[in-house]
Amino acid sequence: MSKINLYDIDMLRNINEIRVWELAQIFFQKHSEYCTCRECILDTVAITLNRIRPHYQISEDDYSEAKNKVADEEILETLKLAADKVKKHPHHL
């Protein structure tokens, strides 16, 4: 019997994805100059996730190691760059 079950892939989580979503909420609350429609938020988060390093874990319990690899400030700066890009070329028009 194999020790690896291909269905265990559901246990893998990119902790930085969770962090980006949390910080995106704060970012869009503070920056009313950006569109907060569904498409613009999803585009901004997708661009941000593509630009920062992923950090995969099998548990969401401890973010400390992920925070050491990509700081909140770096994520917020990347969110701003992504939001600027989306603002220039929105998909909702």
Look up the pTM and report it: 0.83
33-71 exposure pattern, b = at least 16 Cβ within 10 A, e = fewer: ebbeeeebbebbbebbbeebeebebeeeeeeeebeeebe
Residue 56 phi/psi, 5° resolution?
A: -90, 135
Instruction: Give the pLDDT of the chain (93 residues) as one tens digit per residue.
Output: 466 677 777 778 888 999 999 999 999 999 999 999 999 999 999 999 999 999 888 866 666 666 678 899 999 999 999 999 999 999 876
CA atoms within 13 A on the CB side of 76: 12
Give the residue extent of every domain in the chain.
6-88
